[in-house]
Amino acid sequence: MSCSSLAVALSPYFVLYVLSVVTLGFACAGVFVTLFVLRTELVSAPYRPAASMLTSSFFALGYPLLSLLAYTVRTWRTQLAICSVCGFVVSLLTRCVHQSLPSIEL
């Protein structure tokens, strides 16, 4: 997803931009559905609604942070490049997290 986002930010031609946005859309849909299933399977049945609401609240926190970024950085290409670099950093940090459930292969 970060690669597609960076490709959107760096695309010099409209056709490449459209193809990168379509690829990014497919990646986002696949990642979010997979993450929703994983986070609901990690907790027991009575806590699943609360777990999905709690983790979805981080998206609500991310929208104002994205607005703050848009206020400080004016060009959309730079904003998208900053967000994709953050995605690369997070994907590298997930390799350092201890895997507590050996049945889940990421």
pLDDT tens for each residue of 35-48? 788 888 888 888 88
Global pTM reads 0.65
Question: Is the pLDDT at 20 greater than 60, yes or no?
Answer: yes
Helical H segments across the chain, by residue range: 2-10, 14-41, 48-72, 76-93
Interacting residues of 88 by C-beta distance below 8 A, sequence separation 6+: 2
Query: Can you read off the two tokens belonging to residue 55?
Result: 């983790």
pLDDT tens for each residue of 65-76? 989 998 999 898
Query: Can you read off the two tokens belonging to residue 63?
Result: 């929208």
